[in-house]
Amino acid sequence: MTKVLIATEKPFAKAAVEQMTNICKTAGYSVKLLEKYTDKSQLLEAVKTATAMIVRSDKVDKEVLDAAKELKIVVRAGAGYDNVDVNYAKKNGIYGVCVMNTPGQNSNAVAELAVGMAIYGIREFFSGKPGGELRGRVLGLHGYGYVARNVHRIARALGMTVKVYTRYSKAQAASQGIEVTNSLEELYAFSDVVSIHVPARGEHIKSVSMEVLQHLKENAIIVNTARKEVINEDDLCKFMQDRADVKYLSDIAPDCIDFFKENFEGRYYFTPKKLGAQTAEANMNAGVAAAEQIVAYLEEGDNTYQVNK
């Protein structure tokens, strides 16, 4: 029997799990739920007999893939798949393990958090200190994927001017009437708020470095709902020491959180855990898409969303 493991250290909303279970059961599959696990050994045990697996930010590394002898497909219910060893998965078994994500399904939730953080930052963290307004200011989108497109939609309604730096989605941005800057430096130089929306892979790793940061406008706010890996943290710390006007808000804390606590009081905010996609709607959209993609792959070989082809 086909066995689907839903392994989420950070669980989906209950309604999403019910819907995902229904989809799998209708296809004749059994479902095993492993939520809020505290030790990797629990995941290693649960994955042993799984044919398919749905995860969120859960680490699917070599050890997990080696333990998953029956595994045919892993779906990361979400956008970023930096938590899955996609290349090792490809080499696993006779045909390789297919890895998919569910692009776009949780993007509005992350976009709303990014805008919320921009408001929180510009209003001085609701401390009572006089802040500013987003209307009339320039928003710089670093990247133009699904999340950034939603941020753009909301920012327009707020009366912001939006600019973007993107290498791969220039045509989409231009079709929305957004000015595409020639370089990342230019984007950072013109933006009052920079919102980062690039994945933690390839050239994006540590792409927000001193080279780029040094161009930031006075009183700029950086909002990072992407991944901490896209920032060069040493450079960020140095830069924020030199520039007391700059604020940094991020979905989950950087590794250098202690340095921030000691040096930058009143200039940063970090979520207690990654919660950009932690809404009922995003859980439902991404979870259901993941279950449907598994059925489509196993029954019809549909690999549309495979990221390790």
**Smallest distance, ligand 3PG to C-beta of residue 172, A:** 20
Contact between 291 and ligand 3PG per CB under 6 A:
no
Contact between 21 and ligand 3PG per CB under 6 A:
no
Contact between 204 and ligand 3PG per CB under 6 A:
no
Provide CB contacts within 8 A for 220, sequence distance 6+: 188, 191, 192, 193, 194, 245, 246, 247
The radius of gyration of the chain from alpha carbons, rounded to an integer in Å, stands at: 20
Contact between 195 and ligand 3PG per CB under 6 A:
no
> Rule CB under 6 A: which of 64-83 touch ligand 3PG?
78-80
Q: Between residues 192 and 251, which has the closer beta carbon with respect to ligand 3PG?
A: 251
CB-based contacts of 294-303 (< 8 A; 24+ apart in sequence): 294/4, 294/24, 294/52, 294/54, 294/73, 294/75, 295/23, 295/24, 295/27, 295/29, 297/72, 297/73, 297/98, 297/100, 298/2, 298/27, 298/51, 298/52, 298/72, 298/73, 299/27, 303/98, 303/100
Contact map string, positions 99 to 118, toward ligand 3PG, x by CB under 6 A: -------x------------
Contact between 197 and ligand 3PG per CB under 6 A:
no
Residue in 3, 56, 72, 267 binding ligand 3PG, rule: CB under 6 A = 56
Contact map string, positions 242 to 281, toward ligand 3PG, x by CB under 6 A: --------------------------------x-xxx---
Contact between 143 and ligand 3PG per CB under 6 A:
no
* Rounded Cα gap, residues 208 and 193, in angstroms: 14
Binding residues for ligand 3PG (CB under 6 A): 10, 56-57, 78-80, 106, 274, 276-278
